[in-house]
Chains A and B, each alone.
Chain A
Amino acid sequence: MTGKSMATPLTQNIIPDREPLDITQYQQAGGYQALRKAIKELTPEEIQQAVTDSKLRGRGGAGFPTGMKWSFIPMGDDAPHPKYLVANADEMEPGTFKDRLLMENDPHQLIEAMIVSSYATQADVAYIFLRDEYKLAAHCLKQAAQEAHGQGFLGKHILGSGFSLEFHIHTSAGRYICGEETALLTSLEGKRAIPRQKPPYPQASGLWGKPTVVNNVETLCNVPHIINYGAEWYHNLSHSEDGGTKLYGASGRVKQPGCWELPMGTTIREILEEYAGGMRAGYLFRGLLPGGASTDFLVEEHLDVPMDFDSIMEAGSRMGTGGMIILDDKTCPVGMVLNLERFFAQESCGWCTPCRDGLPWVAHILQAIEEGRGQMEDLEILEMHTQFLGPGKTFCMHAPGAMEPLQSALKYFREDFERHIREQHCPWRN
């Protein structure tokens, strides 16, 4: 790798509007070296240790340390088999488009990452759980998997070793809840995507009751680079305690919406100003959701906060997927929260009552306020819901996630809510 690609390992092979590298080109660029090194020189335990030391945290939104997640997989001769590794490619968090970039533009990177990660957890079968709308990604991944099979990187006795891996791509059929890791497993079993109670965690009892690890696409794509260049190198890519780089995105009324691989811990201001080009002419910044729909709003005073899991948490939100959604001064904050809560209400799987009934109620109240039929007491009812649908009250994190933008909007944009109610109409509409 050269200097620039050393700094951006995940996107080093990605050039916009170019076909992804085929297996020959990918290998010329250093691809599948991590797989060779892993299988020929390293034990699964050594790989797990390297991933732990790298301080890689899950990029799907929750930020759970990947090495620790893997450490709960039963290893050794007594472990139940088959064991599974699943790549969560159900990217459906509004404002998030990073995994699409990785899969469409460098599919071999994900496949190599999955083989190495399967070896590290001694998985027998690996699935990509891919959302159905990602047609181009499905095409690229299928082709790459076929090539990898042809070279003996997938299937029986990989590179002549004792390690074999069965590999499948499962395309889904919609529904945001499939991205929740236990709902994803239920869906992969061919059922309605209802989340499961934890514990037991998937590592103990996952797909068909067998040990399973589910990792996000971006998370997995880091693994080959950690193997090639070491945990310390990887950790030093970051500006913060968490290791590595991060694919940050920006959408909304910025000059250049997009997705960029940057050191973990780059400040919000740098991403917005240097990469997204600042606000479009005629629009002022009012706030942002730092990492998708299910994160708390941050505002002007937070612009110098580094985008890493702990710093954003301290600022009162979550880094989530790192897909920032920008609220401008010509967009109604109440309307925006209404859009978000309608989405969450619609995408509730319907299994537990607070989520199934609470979210539509929240959306209903927000609609009344937006349409000028709100009352001041409605704000208290909304506040109450942020408690009733908060963590610990529901089966999974869908409803608590939905409450994050609501509770923070009530805090930072209170005056806008009150103005809707006082003036009995939306000030952003005539």
Chain B
Amino acid sequence: MLSDEAKKEIETELRQYEQKQAGSVEALKIVQRRHGWVSDQHLRDVAEMLEMSLEELDGVATFYNLIFRRPVGRHAILLCDSVSCWIMGYDRLYQHLQNRLGIGLGETSKDNRFTLLPTCCLGDCNHAPVMMVDEDLHRDLDPEKVDEILGRYQ
């Protein structure tokens, strides 16, 4: 069940839209911030609040790549695979992350610390290659720098 705080937060956000459904993405993000991902139960709760059918809300939840419908690790790594990062060394970074974490794209490390996800252009191409970890952008990366950065996220 959604906590009272989550409900209150969602209701506050809904005020900026003409219709409840318009708050769907924001509501899902609120749930995700609190729980890490959006479970079936949470999806049902949010659908009820927004007066949407479960199917339609799930359609929204699965369309947007930053809404997680499966559990993720404590930290999400968004690795940019778009063209400027690709030119500047994406392959090398991806190889390194794979070896280091023992996972591929879409997977979570055994210690549940990291989930590795692909993302398209993060809009920081003059500092390619780049990645985000949770809400932080990391730029001008190379494998050594990646190791140092991963160490900051426990």
A residues within 8 Å of B by Cβ? Answer: 82, 91-97, 99-100, 131-136, 168, 170-176, 187-193, 207-208, 249-253, 257-259, 289, 293, 323, 325-328, 331, 335-336, 339-340, 343, 346-347, 349
Min CB distance A352 to B, Å, is: 16
B17: nearest chain-A partner, CB-CB: A190
B66 touches A174 (CB 8 A): yes
B residues within 8 Å of A by Cβ? Answer: 16-19, 21-26, 28-29, 50, 56, 59-60, 63-67, 78, 81-84, 86-88, 119-128, 132, 135, 137
User: Which of chain A's residues have a CB closer than 8 A to the CB of B22?
Assistant: 188-190
Sample of 17 A–B contacts (CB below 8 Å): A94-B125, A96-B125, A131-B123, A133-B78, A134-B123, A135-B135, A136-B137, A173-B29, A174-B67, A175-B63, A192-B59, A249-B126, A252-B87, A253-B88, A257-B127, A336-B86, A343-B82
A190 touches B124 (CB 8 A): no
5 other contacts beyond A171-B29, A257-B126, with CB at 8 A cut-off?
Answer: A99-B123, A173-B65, A175-B63, A191-B60, A258-B126
B122 touches A133 (CB 8 A): yes
A174 with B16: in contact, given A96-B125, A133-B132, A249-B126 (CB under 8 Å)? no
Min CB distance B23 to A, Å, is: 6
User: Which of chain A's residues have a CB closer than 8 A to the CB of B86?
Assistant: 335-336, 339
A135: nearest chain-B partner, CB-CB: B135
A91: nearest chain-B partner, CB-CB: B123
User: Which of chain A's residues have a CB closer than 8 A to the CB of B18?
Assistant: 82, 207-208
User: Which of chain B's residues have a CB closer than 8 A to the CB of A93?
Assistant: 121
User: Which of chain A's residues have a CB closer than 8 A to the CB of B78?
Assistant: 133
User: Which of chain B's residues have a CB closer than 8 A to the CB of A252?
Assistant: 84, 87-88
B125 touches A174 (CB 8 A): no
Cα distance A88–B77 in the bound complex, in angstroms: 26
User: Which of chain A's residues have a CB closer than 8 A to the CB of B126?
Assistant: 97, 249-251, 257-259
Min CB distance A366 to B, Å, is: 13
Set A100, A170, A176: member contacting B120, Cβ < 8 A: A176
B25 touches A94 (CB 8 A): no
B63: nearest chain-A partner, CB-CB: A192
Q: How many residue pairs between the two chains, A and B, have CB atoms under 8 Å in the bound complex?
A: 141
Min CB distance A288 to B, Å, is: 11
Please provide the 9 A-B residue pairs with the shortest distance between their CB atoms, ordered closest to farther: A173-B64, A251-B125, A257-B126, A94-B82, A190-B24, A174-B65, A251-B84, A190-B21, A94-B121
User: Which of chain B's residues have a CB closer than 8 A to the CB of A323?
Assistant: 125
User: Which of chain B's residues have a CB closer than 8 A to the CB of A193?
Assistant: 63-64
Cα distance A340–B26 in the bound complex, in angstroms: 30
B83 touches A339 (CB 8 A): yes
B84 touches A175 (CB 8 A): no
B125 touches A340 (CB 8 A): no
User: Which of chain A's residues have a CB closer than 8 A to the CB of B127?
Assistant: 257
A171 touches B87 (CB 8 A): no
Min CB distance A296 to B, Å, is: 14
Cα distance A163–B149 in the bound complex, in angstroms: 49
B21 touches A92 (CB 8 A): no
Cα distance A247–B78 in the bound complex, in angstroms: 27
A257 touches B125 (CB 8 A): yes
User: Which of chain B's residues have a CB closer than 8 A to the CB of A249?
Assistant: 125-126
User: Which of chain B's residues have a CB closer than 8 A to the CB of A96?
Assistant: 121, 123, 125
Cα distance A326–B25 in the bound complex, in angstroms: 36
Min CB distance B43 to A, Å, is: 14
Set B21, B83, B122, B137: member contacting A343, Cβ < 8 A: B83
A336 touches B64 (CB 8 A): no
Min CB distance A192 to B, Å, is: 4
Cα distance A92–B125 in the bound complex, in angstroms: 11
Min CB distance A183 to B, Å, is: 11
Set B19, B50, B64, B120: member contacting A94, Cβ < 8 A: B120
Set A192, A251, A289: member contacting B128, Cβ < 8 A: A251
A190 touches B128 (CB 8 A): no
